[in-house]
Structure 1
Amino acid sequence: MPDTRYIAIVDDHTMFRKGLAALVNLFPRYEVLFQASDGREMIERLKYQRLPDIILLDVTMPRMDGYEAAEWLRQHQPDIHVLALSTMESEIAIIKMIRHGAKGYILKDAEPEELKLAFDEVCSRGFFFNDLVTRKVMQSISQLVNENSPLHALVKLSQRELEFIRRACSEKSYQEIAKEMFVSERTVDGYREALFRKLNVSTRVGLVLYAVKHNLVVI
C-alpha cells in the first residue's frame, strides 16, 4: 500500500515487544518494519534497511537507553518521529524525552485506541501530547524564566512576554495571570496570541514545551 506507515519497536522485553508488534500490525495503514532490544541494536538495524516513519522507543533499556537513543536519532535521523514508551509517569522522564526529541510519550498500559491515535497524530501533526504529558509538563515547571539564557536567534521577546511565559508555565488560569501581572485579560490574550505567532505554536502546551526546549525556563 502506498500510504503505509512503517513502525519500529525498540524495547528490551521480548514478550512485550512481540505482542506490541502483533497489535500494531493489526492497525490499518501501519506495519512493523523491525524490532530491536536496545538503542545500539536500533542503530545497527537502521544502517541496512529502510527508515521507519515512527520509532516506539522504550525509556529504560540496557546498553543504550531511550534518552541516548532519542538524542542519537535527533542528531542523525531527525526525520524519524520518536514516540517514547514507558511504564513511568514521572515528569522528569517525560520532559527529558521531549528535550531529546521525542514527539510524544505514551504509557505501556495505554489502550490500543490511544496508541493508534498517537500514530495518527504524529503522522499528521508531528506530535502527540496527551493529557498525561500536558499535566506533567505543567506540574514540573516552577522556576522563573532564566533571563540570562540564550534566546532563539530569530526571536526577540520583551520583558513582559518573558514574564508571561514564566507565569504560563504553571497551572494558573489566564485570568489569574492577568491579575498577577496587573493587566486586563484582553492584554494577556494579546501576549498569548503574539507569542503563538512569534514562536510558531498554537497551544499553551506548545508554548511551555518551546520554553523548555530553548532553556527559557529551568526545571
Structure 2
Amino acid sequence: MRILIAEDHRIVLDSLYLLLSSMKGVEVVSKHTNGRQVLTALEVEPGIDLVVSDLQMPIMGGIELTLKMRERFPHVKICLLTVADQPDAIKEAIRAGADGYVLKSADRDELETSINMIMNGTRFYSEKVLMTLANEATLDFAMEVDKPQQISITKRELEVLKLIAQEYSGTQIAEKLFIGPTTVETHRKHLMQKLGVQSTIGLVKYALKFHII
C-alpha cells in the first residue's frame, strides 16, 4: 500500500511518517505540508493508493484537496486526520468525497483499522465522529423531513440509518450500537416501511438526499 501524507506541523508530520511506516504492508512514499504539494506528487508518483491528510493546512487544506482529488485522481483514496470534530466540518468533508475522517486523538489501532477499511472499499469515521453525525442528523431530519412529511423516526433508527449509509453490515451495526443483529434488522425493516423504500440501497439514497451523512 503506497501512501502520501500531508500535515503542516513538522513534528506531527514526522511522527505520522514514522507511525505509518511501521505498519505492515505500508510504504509512505513522501510527506508534504499542504494539499498543493500532494497534487503535484500525485502527478509524478505512480501507484499511490491513499492520501492521509490534515484538514486545515496553508495554501490548500484537506477539503479543497479532497475535491480536486475526486476530479483528477478519483482512484486514489483520501483519509482526513484532524482535530476538528464539529458537525459542519465533518459534513463538508463527507460531501467533498473523503473516504475517511479520523480524529487525531485516535490510537495506532484505530488509524490502522481505518486505513485497511478504506483500502477495502469501506468508508471509515471515528466513533466520536459517528456520534456527532447521529446527533446532528436528528436536527437536520426534523427540519427537512419530519415536518413536511410527518415521518416519525426514533433516534435509534436514525443511528441505524446513518450506519447503513456508511456501508456497515448488520453485524457491525449491532456491535457498534450494543444491540442484537435481529434488532438491527427490525430497525431496518421499520425504516424501509416509514420511508417508503424497497431496499437497503433505497435507504442509502434517502440518507444522502436529506444529508443525514
Q: TM-score, normalised by structure 2?
A: 0.73
Gaps of 5+ in 1: 148-161, 176-183, 200-206
User: 2:105 maps to what in 1?
Assistant: 109
**Partners in 2 of 1:25 and 1:185 — Cα distance?**
41
In the TM superposition, residue 211 of structure 1 has moved relative to its aligned partner by 4.8
Q: Where do 1:174-213 residues align within 5 Å?
A: 174=157, 188=190, 190-191=192-193, 194-198=198-202, 207=204, 211=206, 213=208
Q: Does 1:124 align with 2:126?
A: no
SS at match of 2:97: coil
**Partners in 2 of 1:185 and 1:27 — Cα distance?**
38
The sequence identity of aligned pairs, in percent, is 22
User: 2:38 maps to what in 1?
Assistant: 42
Q: Where do 1:53-202 residues align within 5 Å?
A: 53-141=49-137, 142-144=139-141, 146=144, 172-174=155-157, 188=190, 190-191=192-193, 194-198=198-202
Aligned length: 180
CA deviation profile, 1:70-121 (whole Å, cap 9, x unmatched): 1111111111111111112112111111111111111122111111111111
Is 1:99–1:213's contact at 8 Å kept on the other side of the alignment?
no
CA RMSD for the aligned pairs?
3.0
Is 1:106–1:115's contact at 8 Å kept on the other side of the alignment?
yes
In the TM superposition, residue 174 of structure 1 has moved relative to its aligned partner by 3.7
**Partners in 2 of 1:140 and 1:110 — Cα distance?**
22
**Partners in 1 of 2:187 and 2:200 — Cα distance?**
16
Q: Which residue identity lines up with residue 188 of structure 1 in the other structure?
A: H
Q: Which residue identity lines up with residue 125 of structure 1 in the other structure?
A: G
**Partners in 2 of 1:185 and 1:18 — Cα distance?**
45
SS at match of 1:84: strand
SS at match of 1:125: coil
Q: TM-score, normalised by structure 1?
A: 0.71
Q: Which residue identity lines up with residue 155 of structure 2 in the other structure?
A: K
**Partners in 2 of 1:31 and 1:116 — Cα distance?**
13
SS at match of 1:93: helix
After alignment, is 126-135 or 16-25 more displaced? 126-135
In the TM superposition, residue 130 of structure 1 has moved relative to its aligned partner by 3.1
User: 2:180 maps to what in 1?
Assistant: none
In the TM superposition, residue 163 of structure 1 has moved relative to its aligned partner by 6.6
Relative to its length, the structure with more helix (as a share) is 2
SS at match of 1:16: helix
User: 1:7 maps to what in 2?
Assistant: 3
CA deviation profile, 1:12-59 (whole Å, cap 9, x unmatched): 111111111111111111110111110111111111111421111110
Q: Which residue identity lines up with residue 190 of structure 2 in the other structure?
A: V
**Partners in 2 of 1:186 and 1:43 — Cα distance?**
41
User: 1:159 maps to what in 2?
Assistant: none
SS at match of 2:125: coil
In the TM superposition, residue 125 of structure 1 has moved relative to its aligned partner by 3.1
SS at match of 1:85: strand
SS at match of 1:97: helix
